[in-house]
Structure 1
Amino acid sequence: MDINGSVALVTGANRGIGRAFARELLNRGAAKVYAGVRDPATVTDADLIPLRLDVTDEESVAAAAAVAGDVSIVINNAGIGGSGTQLLEGAFDGARQAMDVNYFGTWAVSRAFAPVLARNGGGALVNMLSVASWVGQPQFAGYAASKAAQWSLTDALRKGLRDQGTLVVGVHAGFVDTDLSAWTDAPKISAATVAELTMDAVIRGELEVLADEGTRLAKAALSDPPSLPSGL
């Protein structure tokens, strides 16, 4: 797909990976980029178009789809970490919120914008996933479960939108240097790198992005017998 001259929507584009996606789209020649966020005032890039969008509110999603009816690229980036949920004790509130944002939010946006993409020639739908789609950890079991569900949804969307000509891309990465991973000193890649690799995949029509070595190893190990890894 040609990004030059395209119109795109990026959810959660006011910071982190979402902002990097938006910047890279413009760098590649996108004519217009909507920044879908809950509070448009948080979008500080003058060349982005703020768009009120709460991915957990179906009315908000529908309203955004009505406004951004010219998009040919949709990037589902908005997400949360699901902190506060312990594996063996405590409330499930954080895990439920992670599922609501990461899984159901992606589903709601994809469902609302699928007809828009169809009208505009098919285009591309990009979902920001994680190495946690494949590797669960006790310290963030709720987040990993939401990303595993989002991965399954991405595969379903790939099959469901095939006939309308929509390219569906799943982007997997380990720790990315953003606020979401500020709690760890583990090796991280930059948000700009994730964005660059993703735009390359969209241009080439590739279905999946494995953004770092840890993610590539995790994907390769999916057919291995269950084990007890020391980390991601």
Structure 2
Amino acid sequence: MAFNVESKIALVTGANRGIGRAIVENLLAAGSKKVYLAVRNPASTSELESNYGERVKTLIVDMEDSQSIYALAEQASDVELLVNNAGRLEISDPLSDHAALALQKELTVNTFGLLHIAQAFNEILVQNHGALVQMNSVASMKNFLGVSTYSASKAASYAITQGLREQWAENGVQVLSVHPGPIATDMAASAGMLEVAEPADVVAKGIIDALAAGQFHLFPDAIARQFEQQYKSYAETIIEAPASE
């Protein structure tokens, strides 16, 4: 299954900065007809609106609020490509005093946010023969101290992404699970990983190429590709294999 972004209508959550903004700009450069900018603060997308005019439209969404997510779907029923980029990181280890609260906050956005957005846009993506891109992480495959609860929430979202791929396959909806390593964003800065981080454009360009190639997994940067080398065989034979009847 392949998906070409040219002339398509897309929606990107967390579109105002970092990876989300890079995805918006690369989609438009690749010929996407229109991109909805789904953010909490509409003032944060003013520069994108100034740069791209009618090719972008800002919509308000709070990924912690399921009703807000369903309202988003009602305003964007023409979406063909849904990029769920918005995420939350709380610096926490399993024995931190605030670990339970950190995990709760991260699960709300990173995992339940994915569930709600997939359910809200289900009929739209099926009707439009669309695609979902879910921003996961190498942290979904390995737990890292300092971001342990974040890793747990991303492992859960990766599992949900696999389920969506299997369930939507018969409806012609493509699903792409993106697993970056450190990328030069505010999130990487808060995790103290800017020194080894790569530009956000490597993720955005990788998404466009992976969709066109019909891939399920994307490991877009050098550190991520080290994971891919070890994970590839397992992914192909277990994760990506057709479900047994």
- Residue in structure 2 matched with residue 96 of structure 1 by the alignment: 104
Give the conservation status (yes or no) of the 8 Å contact 1:7–1:72.
yes
- Residue in structure 1 matched with residue 143 of structure 2 by the alignment: 136
1:146 correspondence with 2:153: yes
Q: CA deviation at 1:38?
A: 1.1
- Residue in structure 1 matched with residue 75 of structure 2 by the alignment: 67
Q: CA deviation at 1:200?
A: 0.7
Corresponding residue SS for 2:146: helix
Q: CA deviation at 1:158?
A: 0.2
Stretches of structure 2 that go unaligned for 5 or more consecutive residues are 233-245
1:119 correspondence with 2:127: yes
Give the conservation status (yes or no) of the 8 Å contact 2:5–2:30.
yes
Corresponding residue SS for 2:15: coil
Q: CA deviation at 1:198?
A: 0.6
Q: Aligned partners of 1:222 and 1:123: how far apart in 2? A: 27
- Residue in structure 2 matched with residue 230 of structure 1 by the alignment: none
Q: CA deviation at 1:222?
A: 4.9
Structure 1 residues 54 and 185, CA gap change in structure 2 (3 angstroms): closer
Corresponding residue SS for 2:96: coil
Cα distance per residue 1:53-112 (max 9 Å; x no partner) = 1122111111110110000000010001122x3321302212211111111111111111
Q: CA deviation at 1:185?
A: 4.1
Corresponding residue SS for 2:150: helix
Stretches of structure 1 that go unaligned for 5 or more consecutive residues are 224-232
Q: Aligned partners of 1:140 and 1:5: how far apart in 2? A: 38
1:187 correspondence with 2:192: no
Q: Aligned partners of 1:27 and 1:135: how far apart in 2? A: 34
1:31 correspondence with 2:39: no
Give the conservation status (yes or no) of the 8 Å contact 2:184–2:194.
no
Q: CA deviation at 1:165?
A: 0.4
Q: Which amino acid aligns with 2:163?
A: A
1:202 correspondence with 2:202: no
Tell me the matched-pair count: 222
- Residue in structure 1 matched with residue 242 of structure 2 by the alignment: none
Q: Aligned partners of 1:220 and 1:153: how far apart in 2? A: 23
Q: Which amino acid aligns with 1:35?
A: L
- Residue in structure 2 matched with residue 176 of structure 1 by the alignment: 183
Give the conservation status (yes or no) of the 8 Å contact 2:182–2:194.
no
Identity percentage of aligned residues:
36
Give the conservation status (yes or no) of the 8 Å contact 1:34–1:51.
yes
Corresponding residue SS for 2:32: coil
Q: TM-score w.r.t. structure 1 length?
A: 0.91
Cα distance per residue 1:200-223 (max 9 Å; x no partner) = 111221111111232222244359
Give the conservation status (yes or no) of the 8 Å contact 1:134–1:219.
no
Corresponding residue SS for 2:196: coil
Q: Aligned partners of 1:3 and 1:29: how far apart in 2? A: 7
Structure 1 residues 89 and 180, CA gap change in structure 2 (3 angstroms): closer
